[in-house]
Each structure stands twice: as structure tokens, then as C-alpha cells.
Amino acid sequence: MQLCHGKVKSQIDISKLPEEYQTAIKVQIDETLGITYGRAIVDYDADLEMYRGLDPLIRSVNPLEVPPEHQAQMRKLMEICPNVMVTDKISQSFGRGSTVQEYFEAEEWMESVLEGINPEWSDIQKVAYIDNALGRKISYSPDFETEEFDAHDSRAMWRLISRGQGVCNGISQAEQYMLRRIGINSEMLESKSHAFLLLKGIELPREDGTTVVGDTILDTTWNLAAGRFSGYPQNFCLTYAEMRKRDGDYESHKVENEEELQGTIGLTETQTRAILTSIGLADEKGNTPLGNFFERSDLIYLEGLPLDETVRRQFRLLEEYYPRIAECHNSTVSVLRPMLDEISKKGNRCVINRVHERTGESRSPFLYVYTEPKEGEGAFYYLDKETGQFTPISQRNFEERFECYDMDLQRSGGKRPWDRVEVQQVNLEQIPQRTVASEGEER
């Protein structure tokens, strides 16, 4: 039975109708959207069973717009109507969102993170803990700037967390949502190409032991790799001026109302390291595990091994420390580049990029490394998603199995990165490679 228009419903004597018809007629429709595109208005104080089977009519639920007193009923509605779409502030504008299953999976993960927070911690300690947890969970979308990229899926907040992949405004919204749940106020700032957070009215420590209250900049996306690889988060609580210096040739953090951000406050590296130590993310001296990792990487070059053996040793080191490298391309690249820098410095070629399989339905990215000595043949290695290891492969087999994305080929004038020409490599992270530099210095 189709639900009647409001004006018609008001004229029907429902007392003689079967119970299921009476229930259906009681459902309110948002008539501002018109008869054809009308949507059911959910009454969370009513018996929610009346909505069973009406998923297409309800269409979507935005938990951010449901008041706290109705959150439990909203979850019950999702169980009764499992095919409704779960939207958020950003995905709602696209007419897309997350599934109910993705919502529950993401909420369970977020609850587990929030439960790990020590209630005695200061607000800035809690922010550092959440920022690190998001870095361990989320990766920047590996197919960004390819023809396979889905701008909707990468921004839907609960889908982003459930799948572990997204882009800057979706990632920033996720952290903002988690911070709001523990009473920390923030605002999302957007430049022409990037999104990040302004923490508002937060108390930060000063070098003299006192504290100061003000607004500070936090770039969740640029800190992802630091979280994944247990490094120092270089984009954590900085002044706007300092964050702009980190843009390099980009204007990632340039916003229209930048004059309003001139009074922002920030933390020194010493203060940030002290915070990391206090919540168990750094040792007593404030050093994070990534520093020791790069020290071991540097030692490999001192052994003077042949190029292919040097590369394989570097791969084994990375796989030993971080078994989940296949899950997070952009973070893996940000660590792999400085690891392999020495190869290029000695006049050899070293390409790190992405390709997709030629056959099959999926065109999801595979990370690969191509090295070529000054004299001699080049070597290919692809990151096997099943084993989580870089696997050597002949050029013939590599080219038979994989191909570059169309958008990557367009940028390079149709040349593949391993061809003997100089081409511009796509920046998989869209951020400066110094994001996870070794401890105490930039690489």
C-alpha cells in the first residue's frame, strides 16, 4: 500500500481499516519535498515497529542531527530498518552516506578508543591520544586522483572509519566528531584543496610550567602516517603561521579568513614530546619508535651491499617493524621514500608509485617500487596485499599483470614511470614527505 498524501489521510476514517493499514497511515511524511519525493518523518517517541519495511521511505538518518535523548531509539530504528542510509554533515550534501553496518562498526571502534582515555588526562592529552588512534586506523584513499576514486565514499564519516580509508575533510570530520563526544570544541577549516581543524579554547602547557588557553591548528590528515608508524606528529597543535610554513610549494592551509588565525597558539616540539610520553606514545626522553627504525635503515647502506640486496634488506626491515604496510599506501610511501633516498642520491633511479591489475573487476591500487642502477637492468617489486610483503617480479610479468591508471598516464604524457624518461611522479599523499621524518630532524 502506498502512503497517502497528508491532505487525503486526514479525511480517512482509519478505525475500520486493518491494523497494518492504520499504522502505515499514521506515518508522517515531509511534504515540503513533494508527493513524489516525500520522506517519512521519524517519531522517535512512537512505537518504532510501525516503520518496519519502510526503509526506502525513510531513506536516511543523520545521527549528528538526532538529539542525545533519542540516540538509543535511533539505533533501534537502524536495526528495524537496516537499509536506511546513514548520513553526516558532509556526505548528506552528496546524497550518499554509510550503511547501517558501517555505522555500527565505526561506532564500536570509536567507543573502544574513547574508553581507553584516562579521565585524569588534560584535554590536550586526550586530543593527542585520539589523533594517534585515527592515524593507526585510517589511511588516505590510495586511489585518490585516479579514475576509480569515489569522492562520496571517501568522505562518508562512518564508512571512512569502517573501511579505514578517506580524504581530508572526511578524516577531519571524524576527529571533530570524536573530540565533540568528550567535550572538546573544534572548527573545520578549509582551503581550496585541504581541510584541517582549529581546536578552540584549549589549554596548552608553556615552557615555564604555566598554561595558556587559546585556539590552535591540528592537521589530522598530515599526521596519519605518524600515527601508523609510531612517529612524531609534526602537524599537531601549531600556530597558523607555523602551519603555513609547512605547506612548502602548496597552499594547503591558506584560508580566506586567515587574519582571524594570526593569534593562534602552539606547542614546541619539547612540549609535544612530553605529552606523547605522558600518554605512553613516546619513551622517557620523548622519542618515538620511528627514530630507531630509521637508524637501522641508515645502517643498511653502510654495509655497501649491491643495489638489489640493499633494497630487499630495506623492505624486510619495513615489514618487520610494520606488518600492515599493505593496508595504508600513502603512509607506507611517506616512510619508504626517505628509506630509499640514498639510492637516488648515488645516481640510481628509484620510482615508487601505484598501478592496477589489468584483469578482474577491481581496479584497486597496488604499490610498487622500481629501481634501476646507473648501469644495468632495472628491478620491479610490488606490494602483495595477501602477504604484506614486497615481492620481486620480472618486468615482463609486471607489465602483463599491471597497468598505470589513465589519470597518471595523462599527467606523464603517456609515459610510464619506469620508461627511460624523466616524468612527474604523482604525490600519493598530497603532502610534504617530511611528515614522518626521523626523530629530531627532517629528511
Q: What string of pLDDT tens digits covers the 443 residues of the chain? A: 444 444 444 444 445 444 544 455 455 544 444 333 347 788 899 899 988 988 888 889 999 999 999 999 999 999 999 999 999 988 877 768 999 999 999 999 999 999 999 999 999 999 999 999 999 999 999 988 899 988 888 899 999 999 999 999 999 999 999 999 999 999 999 999 999 999 999 999 998 889 999 999 999 999 999 999 999 999 999 999 999 999 887 899 999 989 999 999 999 999 999 999 999 999 999 999 888 899 999 999 999 999 999 999 999 999 998 888 998 888 999 999 999 999 988 889 999 999 999 998 889 999 999 999 988 889 999 999 999 999 999 999 999 999 999 999 999 899 998 886 544 444 444 443 334 443 443 33
Q: Which three cell numbers stand for residue 24?
A: 502505515
8 Å CB contact between 160 and 169: no
Is 268 in the same domain as 295? no
Choose one of 84, 112, 135: the last residue of a domain. Answer: 84
Is 354 in the same domain as 330? yes
Is 166 in the same domain as 241? yes
* Number of domains within the chain: 3
Is 37 in the same domain as 110? no
Is 47 in the same domain as 134? no
Whether residue 90 lies inside any domain: the answer is: no
Query: What local confidence, expressed as pLDDT, does residue 40 receive?
Result: 78
Whether residue 99 lies inside any domain: the answer is: no
Whether residue 136 lies inside any domain: the answer is: yes
Cell 569515489, located at residue: 150
Whether residue 131 lies inside any domain: the answer is: yes
Choose one of 33, 55, 84: the last residue of a domain. Answer: 84
Quickly list H helices, 233-268: 240-245
Is 280 in the same domain as 190? yes
Is 177 in the same domain as 137? yes
Whether residue 93 lies inside any domain: the answer is: no
Q: Which three cell numbers stand for residue 267?
A: 606547542
Is 78 in the same domain as 203? no
Q: Measured between alpha carbons, how far is residue 235 from residues 213, 239, 392 in Å? A: 19, 10, 35
Domain assignment of residue 414, given as a range? 291-436
Rounded to whole angstroms, how far apart are CA atoms 393 and 125?
46
Cell 637501522, located at residue: 296
CATH number reported for the structural domain that contains residue 216 in this entry: 3.10.620
CA nearest neighbour of 311 among 357, 243, 368: 368
Helix (H, G, I), strand (E, B) or coil at 346: coil
CA nearest neighbour of 297 among 350, 347, 342, 327: 342
Is 400 in the same domain as 430? yes
Is 325 in the same domain as 406? yes
HEC assignment per residue over 303-335: CCCCHHHHHHHHHHHHHHHCCCHHHCHHHHHHH
Cell 574508553, located at residue: 115
CA nearest neighbour of 318 among 330, 305, 332: 332
Task: Indicate if the alpha-carbon torsion angle 251, 255, 256, 261 is positive or negative.
Answer: negative
Is 150 in the same domain as 214? yes
Is 209 in the same domain as 304? no
8 Å CB contact between 275 and 124: yes
Whether residue 95 lies inside any domain: the answer is: no
Choose one of 260, 288, 316: the last residue of a domain. Answer: 288
Whether residue 397 lies inside any domain: the answer is: yes
8 Å CB contact between 40 and 51: yes
